[in-house]
Structure 1
Amino acid sequence: MRLQDRTAVVTGGTRGLGRAIAESYLAEGASVVCAARNPYDIEELADVYPGRVHYQETDVTDEDSVAELVEVALETFGALDILVSNAGLSRDGSISRLSAADWNATVGTNLTGVFLCTRAVIRIMAERGGGRIINVSSCVATRTAAGAAAYSASKAAVEMFTRTSAVELAPKGITVNCLSPGYIDEGMGKKVAADSRVWETYRRRLLAGRLGRPDEVGSAAVFLAGDDSSYVNGHVLEVNGGLMWAA
């Protein structure tokens, strides 16, 4: 129970990797606010962990919505110790045909959302003597992928925002780290593996020879949220099975 008596907010926490992270936190004793636009089947988690799961409808691109999320977390569980900014959006397309609206939507969710959520928890965590902020990036933040300009650029910016935040917030006892998943058996990763021809191309790039499991990402998120990572700050932790881009 490495996160016993701690409260976490996980944006995009009702499905995919966000839900996997929420489940891992709950298994380690934390209470979790799952923030997202849609609850999906989050009630299943509430049934398994009664009294420790709360869903809050949230738009991370909206300041008022983010402020309400933080307020609800405090009202529901009396604390806010961990923030995982996981909410993400992909509007892929070549630069020549990518619309300004899709670009803005991607950057707004993936980058501005991280900024708004970070800013909203600083005072609360500082008053409690510190906290943990974990931003979720992607393997394509550091590897070129044609057709993913908006997504890749926004995730690369998240990694630099993480490092800058770590410098600014360290005096307040807040660590800021980044989790960078590779191809995981969830969402887009699962779609890649479903196409045998495409999967063979990507499989050769993975030293592990397989997709990652969502719980493996969750375990890394637990490490960054707990006492074991107390001397880790401003770090980008890649969870990608040894991903080589050229193979």
Structure 2
Amino acid sequence: MKPHQRNRFDLQGRTAVVTGAGRGLGQAIAVGLAEAGANLILVTNRSSAEETKAKAEALGAKARIVQTDVADRSKLTDIIDASVETFGGLDILVNNAGIIRRAPAVEHAYSDWQEVLDVNLNSVFVLCQLAGELMIEQGRGKIINIASMLSYQGGINVPGYTASKHAVAGLTKALANEWASKGVQVNAIAPGYMSTDNTEALRNDPVRSRQILERIPAGRWGSDEDLIGPAIFLASSASDYMNGHVLCVDGGWMNR
């Protein structure tokens, strides 16, 4: 790769907010952005992000932890404010925080439905609004929403999660339509079946696990590391002409 091509993926001097950064996919994405040169606001709720912070700082990045519940709309302004106060602005927003509740639709508690939508969708919309206003004013910015295979499919026993992830894909496209001309790229990553806490029940079910693996051409569950490259790409100037795209990182699941 030529030097000028490598620079397209360079995030030196950029600031990124990553929600759900304490573990799993969020931690991997945050550390990957740090490796590419970005400084970080690490948003976490129940889990500590100290390990993520230490990994990022070991790579030479600066990082600040903001511990808050993204389901609480009144706290979301604090996240953007922390980025401006600490690093002087915001260049990249990764809406990764997400939860899942499993139950047949007729037994799915409304409280579970509402909690999933508050975390997976409503927080995404509000953070996009807040970051988008700042990014439009500065004439540039990157927003990456984490979608899902269930942005395309219905799933089983996860009506709230499915509804939220369909909506995230639609919101990504709607915001891209409004903001692309203002220098703000809004895209999404749809991870396939990844080895995370959210899929533990599936991986522990021998029948469902076998059915899932049989459909993945790559022949394996995805790992945290599989999202790092796509996240750096969508956060960098290499993706300046990508708008409203939902990028499947799924080992080929959607091909079958």
TM-score normalised over the length of structure 2: 0.90
Greater share of helix: 2
Q: Is this contact kept in 1: 2:92–2:235, CA < 8 A?
A: yes
Moved more, 183-192 or 24-33: 183-192
Matching residue's letter, 1:236: V
Query: Equivalent residue for 1:11?
Result: 19
Within the candidate set 179, 185, 199, 2:189 is matched to 179
Q: Distance in 2 between matches of 1:245 and 1:194?
A: 25
Whether the 8 Å contact between 1:184 and 1:190 is mirrored in structure 2 is no
| Deviation, structure 1 residue 88 | 0.5
Query: What does residue 238 of structure 2 align with?
Result: 228
Find the aligned partners of 1:104 and 1:195 in 2 and give their Cα distance: 27
Instruction: Provide closer, same or farther for how the CA distance between residues 194 and 92 of structure 1 changes in structure 2, counting only shifts above 3 A.
Output: closer
Task: Provide closer, same or farther for how the CA distance between residues 193 and 97 of structure 1 changes in structure 2, counting only shifts above 3 A.
Answer: closer
1:111 aligned partner: 121
Specify the code of the residue in structure 2 equivalent to 1:27: E
Q: Which amino acid aligns with 2:115?
A: A
Alignment of 1:216 with 2:229, yes or no, is no
Task: Show the 5 A alignment for 1:66-81.
Answer: 66-81=76-91
The residue that corresponds to 1:150 in the other structure is 160
Question: SS in structure 1 opposite 2:26?
Answer: helix
Does the CA contact (< 8 Å) of 1:61 and 1:116 recur in 2? no
CA contact (8 A) 1:189 1:211 kept: no
Moved over 6 A (4+): none
Contact 1:10 1:85 (C-alpha < 8 Å) held by counterparts? yes
* Shift of residue 188, structure 1, vs aligned partner: 3.2
Deviations 1:216-236 (A, max 9, x none): 112111111111111100000
Q: Which residue of 1 aligns with 2:5?
A: none
Identical residues among aligned pairs (%): 36
Instruction: Report SS of the residue matched to 2:66.
Output: strand
| 1:44-88 Cα distance to aligned partner (Å, 9 max, x none) | 325524661111012223233110111111111112000011111
In the aligned structure 2, how far is the partner of 1:178 from the partner of 1:219?
13
Cα pair 1:33 1:56 within 8 Å, conserved? yes
Distance in 1 (CA, whole Å) between partners of 2:57 and 2:231 is 23
In 1: Cα distance, 2:235 partner to 2:201 partner: 29
Whether 1:96 aligns to 2:106 is yes
- The change in CA–CA distance for 1:53 and 1:191 in structure 2 (over 3 A counts) is farther
Give the corresponding residue for 1:20. Answer: 28
Give per-residue Cα distances to partners, 1:73-119, cap 9 Å, x unaligned. 11111120000111111112111111111100011111101001001
CA distance in 2, matches of 1:160, 1:210: 28
Task: Give yes or no for the alignment of 1:33 onto 2:38.
Answer: no
Contact 1:84 1:135 in 2 (8 A): yes
Given residue 80 of structure 1, which amino acid in structure 2 is its aligned partner? L
1:190 Cα deviation (Å)? 5.4
Q: 1:13-51 CA deviation, whole Å, 9 max, x = no partner?
A: 111101110010000000011112135252432552466
Q: Mean alpha-carbon deviation: is it higher for 40-49 or for 67-76?
A: 40-49
Change (3 A) 1:135 1:55: same
Alpha-carbon deviation of 1:2? 1.5
**Aligned residue-pair number:** 246
**3-state SS of the aligned residue for 2:43?**
strand
Whether the 8 Å contact between 2:121 and 2:167 is mirrored in structure 1 is yes
Determine if the alignment matches structure 1 residue 170 to structure 2 residue 180: yes
Q: Unpaired runs of 5+ in structure 2?
A: 1-8
Instruction: Assess if the C-alpha contact under 8 Å between 2:95 and 2:144 holds in 1.
Output: yes
Q: CA RMSD in A?
A: 1.9
Partners of 1:176 and 1:219 lie apart in 2 by: 17
Do the aligned partners of residues 154 and 217 (structure 1) sit closer, same or farther apart at CA in structure 2, a change above 3 Å counting? same
Label 1:6 to 1:102 Cα distance change in 2 as closer, same or farther (>3 A): same
Q: Any stretches of 5+ residues in structure 1 without a counterpart?
A: none
Given the alignment of the two structures, is residue 139 of structure 1 paired with residue 149 of structure 2, yes or no?
yes
